[in-house]
Amino acid sequence: MDPYKYRPSSAFNSPFCTTNSGAPVWNNNSSLTVGARGPVLLEDYHLVEKLANFDRERIAERVVHARGASAKGFFEVTHDIAHLTCADFLRAPGVQTPVIVRFSTVIHERGSPETLRDPRGFAVKFYTREGNFDLVGNNFPVFFIRDGMKFPDMVHALKPNPKSHIQENWRVLDFFSHHPESLHMFTFLFDDIGIPQDYRHMDGSGVHTFTLINRAGKSTYVKFHWKPTCGVKSLLEEEAIRVGGANHSHATQDLYDSIAAGNYPEWKLFIQIMDPDHEDKFDFDPLDVTKTWPEDILPLQPVGRLVLNKNIDNFFNENEQLAFCPSIVVPGVYYSDDKMLQTRIFSYSDTQRYRLGPNYLQLPANAPKCAHHNNHYDGSMNFMHRDEEIDYFPSRYDQVRHAEVYPIPSTVCSGKREKCIIQKENNFKQPGERYRTFTPDRQERFIRRWVEALSDPRITYEIRSIWITYWSQADKSLGQKLASRLNVRPSI
């Protein structure tokens, strides 16, 4: 019997109901009881199995990015970058790779409205011939903090109060008042683009600095950027209230309905590249995730296009069980020493093993679509049929060998063990520059949002003063306007 042919599936065309073990169920309506009205018998195995499966239908939601929607499609290379990377899926224009993409809100719970002010996740899984590549990012090109040590604290501050289970501004602004590097992220979050109209009309970014390696072994720093062909559109507060009040799943429905109608969402992929030898030429650390690279010096270069042309078949299988990890890369793409990225390399895979189990990469949505082989055996929920006798390496009874060597960055690492901050913090320059690109009415809305946030009655005079000091250092007029409206003097 072919063990792969008869997998339990709603697609299996059995003419009658069965138990999970395949036994026919002759009555799927009534419990087994003692007499017509008597107590239910524990020996009704089908009843117990049915209830036990139902009790376990929901898995723990993600700590972050719990609310999301997915779709499938393809990525097509449009511009040759083979001189930068030996990645097979980027080998030449015209090459197409199947993908699945998950969009999400970040902080709020699985059933929360999709109209809340929050970053949006933008995660792409490429099913390449050399294994999967997960490009896990957000709709903003920067992040709140630069060191993963603070990530749990940051999420706790952004999440609801553990006593009341209510998300409160005073907790958010208290925490970030200790981290002025967050200002740049707040120029995005409190800007008009803080609430995307839907998932189709938002940018995407890999956020982190990655490394491309070509066949000669030369490394190049890279940042990835997704730009929607239909443009970026957002909701202002009044629009968000109206849309969210009518449909708290508006973005999920928009994505599904658009694809079903043949209006396929599309994004162009661009990259910025930098020679690692030039990273000291800037007044900021290029590996600092709270910074953007200046496009006038490091311009966006086109690479390809992403088209989503198929809705997922099952929300649980291809959204809830869909798992992304920045650690999953392919030959020709590697990490950098970005401190946040280095932390996520461990954390994301670890959380998937906790949430889905140690064999989460066997689930169809997460499994590679190319041939693969290893000796990672057993463990909870291992459903891969295997009949080999050799589960070790090397062996003269098994001809499995090492793969062909591919290059990885060969930078020499040296230095003493120490815990320290990035030296070129430069926390205020880029936030100020971004604020000054806003039109006057957009600046006014940004100021109004900050006045409202800082007016929370539990925010102390000290915290208000600190924030006004920060914004004054980013842009003097911005700080003055906030101070005037809040009747607070900056602490500098």
Q: Is 377 annotated as a binding residue?
A: no
Distance from C-alpha of 434 to C-alpha of 443, rounded to nearest angstrom = 10
Contact between 143 and 126 under an 8 Å Cβ cutoff? The reply is no
Distance from C-alpha of 290 to C-alpha of 208, rounded to nearest angstrom = 9
* Residue from 212, 194, 255 nearest 87 by CA: 212
Distance from C-alpha of 208 to C-alpha of 135, rounded to nearest angstrom = 10
Using the structure block, give the residue that is written with the tokens 């990259």.
Answer: 271
Q: Is 365 exposed, middle or buried, given 0-12, 13-18 or 19+ CB atoms closer than 10 A?
A: buried
Residue 62 phi, psi (nearest 5): -60, 145
List, by residue number, the catalytic residues: 65, 138
DSSP structure class, residue 295: T
Distance from C-alpha of 47 to C-alpha of 30, rounded to nearest angstrom = 9
**Helical ranges in 101-168 per DSSP H:** 151-158
Which helix H or strand E contains 211, and what residues bound it?
strand 210-213
Using the structure block, give the residue that is written with the tokens 């409205």.
Answer: 113
DSSP-derived pairing of the beta strands 68-77 and 120-128: unpaired
For 52: left if phi > 0, alpha if psi spans -120 to 50, otherwise beta; the answer is alpha
User: Quick one: the chain helix, strand, coil %, rounded to 5?
Assistant: 30, 15, 55
Contact between 337 and 414 under an 8 Å Cβ cutoff? The reply is no
* Cis amide leading into 276 (omega within 30): no
Distance from C-alpha of 320 to C-alpha of 289, rounded to nearest angstrom = 28
Distance from C-alpha of 68 to C-alpha of 152, rounded to nearest angstrom = 21
CA atoms within 13 Å, Cβ hemisphere of 277: 2
Residue 342 phi, psi (nearest 5): -60, -35
Contact between 138 and 119 under an 8 Å Cβ cutoff? The reply is yes
DSSP structure class, residue 196: B
CA atoms within 13 Å, Cβ hemisphere of 132: 24
* Residue from 241, 246, 242, 202 nearest 225 by CA: 202
- Point out the annotated binding site: 348
- Point out the annotated binding site for heme: 348
